[in-house]
Amino acid sequence: MIAEFKNKIFCLLSKNKISIISALVISAVVGLYYCPVAHKILTENTNFFSSLGAIATGISLIFVAVQVYYIKLENETRNKQLAQENAFEMAKLYATDILMELHAFNSYLQKIGFIDEILFLNNEEIIRFDKKEMDGLFGEERRERLINVFRKKVQPEIYIEVLTIGYNLSKIDLYLKFYEFKNKSNDLTVESINELWINDLYFKTVSMMDKVLNKLEYLCMYFNNNLAESDYVYPSLHQTFLEYVKNLYFFIAIRNDDPARKYYTEIIKLYNKWYNQEKKYRRDNNC
């Protein structure tokens, strides 16, 4: 207990040594002024001590400047450490809560043939992620075809596989919910029950995309505003981030028809930053 108290006192003194020294100097000056002998010496040598006082003031200003510098340095070090800690927290969020949903939805797009329709996309061409840019890349015919591909209902097994992977669910639980609904809907035909079930699975799958985009936006906000240092996690995250965001380009761009109400601006910003970073590495290393 005593040793811990001593350590705390030592740390306190170390951090505030400049302030302590300044206080001691001021106390000494005040003490000398009110001492009778010292007061006589001071009054008889006013010019000398005025010059000395000016020197002391200059030294004090230097002490203050040094103190401000070290306070700034300490704050920068603390902020850098916090940015590093936040970067690792964001990497953990990406790995545990975002990546599997991205992977699951990407597999869904592959199964319905959506990915095959966007293979022509070039990273150099996707920058703004808005409808005007998208229309120039896709054209009206391809755009309508992609919308129809995405809206077309598929076999329930495909939705179930996507949902179980993305949300770490059990297939049995999803099937049990279906049979519970079926047993409670005796007044409906089998076709109507199956249609309702497929529609429910479809909307749950589509909502997965909205949820994961919102999570990505939150993560990118940290990196873009220097709350987390992206350079710490770039080597591990940029590969999947660039791939999956590119595959979601159509869904982001089609929403951004109004520049004043643009969606997912943080995702777009980090995508361009990391893509340019990768492009620079390839150029510098001839790969």
pLDDT in tens, the chain (287 residues): 444 544 544 454 444 555 555 555 556 555 555 556 555 655 655 655 566 566 667 677 776 666 666 666 666 667 678 888 999 999 999 999 999 999 999 999 999 999 999 999 999 999 999 999 999 999 999 999 999 999 999 999 999 999 999 998 888 888 888 888 888 887 889 889 899 999 999 999 999 999 999 999 999 999 999 899 999 999 999 999 999 999 999 999 999 999 999 999 999 999 999 999 999 999 999 98
DSSP helix/strand/coil, 278: helix
Q: How far apart are CA 220 and CA 239, in angstroms?
A: 15
96 secondary structure, DSSP code: I
Q: How far does CA 161 lie from the centroid of its chain?
A: 29
Please state whether the predicted TM-score (pTM) of the whole model is above 0.85. no
Alpha helices per DSSP H over the chain: 2-15, 17-34, 36-44, 46-93, 99-111, 114-117, 131-151, 156-167, 171-183, 190-224, 234-247, 249-253, 265-285
Instruction: Give the list of residues 6+ apart from residue 197 with CB closer than 8 angstroms, or none.
Output: 156, 178, 181
Domain residue limits, the chain: 2-76, 84-285
Q: Which of 239, 234, 236 is CA-nearest to residue 123?
A: 239
Q: 189-192: long-range contacts (C-beta < 8 A, 24 or more apart)?
A: none
Counting every residue written for the chain, the total comes to: 287
Query: Within a 10 A sphere around the Cβ of 267, how many other Cβ atoms?
Result: 23
> Exposed, middle or buried: residue 31 (CB in 10 Å: 0-12, 13-18, 19+)?
exposed
Query: Within a 10 A sphere around the Cβ of 102, how many other Cβ atoms?
Result: 24
DSSP helix/strand/coil, 8: helix
Contact between 84 and 229 (Cβ < 8 Å): yes
